[in-house]
Chains A and B, each alone.
Chain A
């Protein structure tokens, strides 16, 4: 199972726990991780001119964790067999509460995923039921998935769970970048053998995260692009994940609108609201 997560390969056997989940679910889960980005920046407005490696990693980590947000985004998933685009509305609060609801396409409109702590619930409007994701799937690799559940639920931090050093500073593609190489500590709950974090020097916004498996082969790449001013902040508004072992496949998230530090009642993240 662990190897499967690492290599991002589809399940090879019909064993329990190694199961495919709808691409949609992984998408919304992935989003829930991405939501904190704006909230964080809102509480840390001015960036210091020069950050240490630890400060950079903390900043990158905290992009995914924040206070609260509400917005809309578009998700594009491309696999070798199908391509689809989803419009989504999301809400997030704190580290571990998020709700994502599908707006389009019509066939799946209303489908929603609620993440509360380590629990993930899905609402299926067609059958008007709420389904809890079984714990066996929380740690499983999803067949055909560009993500693993571990990415989404585990709260590992670069600065705490990895040893790191700045391995490169210089120009790339016309801008000054800093590359930090992170090697997981032996006991860290991490499936990667190595992660390279590349940020741009000017504002320390992330450019690329490169994930290597335990054999130190590149497994997947997360690219951050389209820095725009949304809600008064300058931010990368597009994230693209490309798995190395599936050429031509990718998952791309782009923000359409976002409101930060909105006041959200905890009821928003209740099962009752999920089944609205």
Chain B
């Protein structure tokens, strides 16, 4: 206890210098906490958008389906799989896909048709809430379509427009029909925006002459299960299916998240280095001024280790007080950014992160990790920075140093 009291007194022997250094450490800590929270918010939001809208945390396909998206590679035991998933309260939605042509008047475009079960889809995923116009598909088939934003624009289609649909059915015949636009999606991501034409699974089965089977089961636990556990569970439930996590399905996004982790570490390293150099400078000055005291201590029999301990404890104490302030400031800033968010829509319009659309309001996400990591690392940096001045003091020659003043 007396050690801390002595350190405390020593710190305030030069109030202004200590206060300035502590202000620098506080500021660094605050910036790091805020930046980490903002970054967590961005990545979390992006991953949520990517997974909870439609991709899911994992997907099941027939083996090889993702390679060529052949409409003949179907999951046949999907009913059993869906029932089991439902029993384990894992959200899951079955889907079928097929390519074709959509046309309105003289406008026409290629499309990727989705066949979905609207009630199931709506329970598991949030695509249905993500509409710019109109409403989502109803529970029964009425030859209605929900179109991707850019696809609707290129067809000049509005809610209520009649769209001619032309596809190659599974039996080789030409499936064609007229559908009505029920809704138009908000921007989701490049693929869906340009291509998606979503219809009721029963309509899809008639159009594509595909009475059985589905192409995909998208699975979500809303973040409750870690990906590894989920993959294991899925492989057990559907041993014949190919299990892919969203990190494998959206490699660009996954890579981007990894890269941001690395770049955040670099960013942090620069701030820690700056803080560390500040602390080192302060402690060098403080120990230099007290060279005669250390000399005297040594002459009285203090071991070099004791001097090292005194100096590092002093630095650590300074770090503790400074990071306490920094933490409070960082918490306040992050909390404000979490509650209010940054409205980026006025600055940059629509932001697209690795093909996944980002919400216009950028919110920070406060986590224990984002607060504690900067604080602990800051302590270690301060202690490390103090080691050099401490070692210098410990190695002083008692006689020479007592002569100095």
Residues of A within 8 A of B (CB): 9-25, 77, 79, 81-84, 107-108, 111, 122, 124, 126-127, 129, 131-134, 136-137, 140, 143-144
B176 close to chain A: CB less than 8 A: yes
Of A14, A20, A22, the contact of B191 (CB 8 Å cutoff): A14
Quote the shortest CB–CB distance from B107 to chain A (angstroms). 8
With both beta carbons as reference points, the residue of chain A lying nearest to B154 in the complex is identified as A134
Are A132 and B177 in contact (CB-based, < 8 A)?
A: no
CA distance A83 to B173 in the complex (A): 10
Q: Known: A25-B174, A134-B109. Contact between A81 and B101, CB under 8 A?
A: no
- Chain A residues, CB < 8 A from B72: 81
CA distance A84 to B173 in the complex (A): 8
- Chain A residues, CB < 8 A from B110: 16-19, 134, 136-137, 140
Of A22, A111, A129, A144, the contact of B178 (CB 8 Å cutoff): A129
CA distance A131 to B98 in the complex (A): 19
Quote the shortest CB–CB distance from B360 to chain A (angstroms). 26
- Chain A residues, CB < 8 A from B167: 20, 22
- The B interface is mostly helix, strand or loop, or mixed, namely strand
Of B166, B171, B195, the contact of A122 (CB 8 Å cutoff): B166
Are B99 and A143 in contact (CB-based, < 8 A)?
A: yes
B18 close to chain A: CB less than 8 A: no
B212 close to chain A: CB less than 8 A: no
- Chain A residues, CB < 8 A from B68: 9-12
A-contact bits for B50-72, CB 8 A (1 contact / 0 none): 00000000000000000111101
CB contacts under 8 Å to A, within B170-195, are 170-178, 191, 194-195
Q: Known: A16-B194, A16-B195, A107-B173. Contact between A21 and B108, CB under 8 A?
A: no
With both beta carbons as reference points, the residue of chain B lying nearest to A19 in the complex is identified as B110
Known pairs A12-B67, A21-B166, A23-B172. 17 more at Cβ < 8 A?
Answer: A10-B70, A11-B68, A15-B195, A16-B195, A18-B110, A19-B110, A22-B166, A22-B173, A24-B174, A82-B170, A107-B173, A127-B177, A132-B106, A132-B108, A134-B108, A136-B109, A143-B168
- Chain A residues, CB < 8 A from B69: 10-14
CB contacts under 8 Å to A, within B258-308, are none
Are B108 and A126 in contact (CB-based, < 8 A)?
A: no
A-B contact pairs, 10 of them (CB 8 A): A10-B70, A11-B99, A13-B69, A18-B110, A22-B169, A22-B173, A23-B168, A122-B166, A131-B101, A131-B164
Quote the shortest CB–CB distance from B44 to chain A (angstroms). 27
Are B178 and A127 in contact (CB-based, < 8 A)?
A: yes
Quote the shortest CB–CB distance from B81 to chain A (angstroms). 23
- Chain B residues, CB < 8 A from A136: 109-110
Quote the shortest CB–CB distance from B165 to chain A (angstroms). 9
Residues of B within 8 A of A (CB): 67-70, 72, 97-101, 103, 106, 108-112, 164, 166-178, 191, 194-195
- Chain B residues, CB < 8 A from A15: 191, 195
Are B70 and A129 in contact (CB-based, < 8 A)?
A: no
CA distance A24 to B176 in the complex (A): 12
CA distance A204 to B177 in the complex (A): 46
- Chain B residues, CB < 8 A from A81: 72, 170, 172
Are B172 and A124 in contact (CB-based, < 8 A)?
A: no
**What are the nearest 4 A-B pairs in CB distance?**
A19-B110, A22-B174, A82-B172, A20-B99
- Chain B residues, CB < 8 A from A25: 174
Quote the shortest CB–CB distance from B166 to chain A (angstroms). 6
Quote the shortest CB–CB distance from B177 to chain A (angstroms). 6
Are B99 and A14 in contact (CB-based, < 8 A)?
A: yes
CA distance A23 to B167 in the complex (A): 9
CA distance A122 to B110 in the complex (A): 15
With both beta carbons as reference points, the residue of chain A lying nearest to B178 in the complex is identified as A127
Are A20 and B174 in contact (CB-based, < 8 A)?
A: no
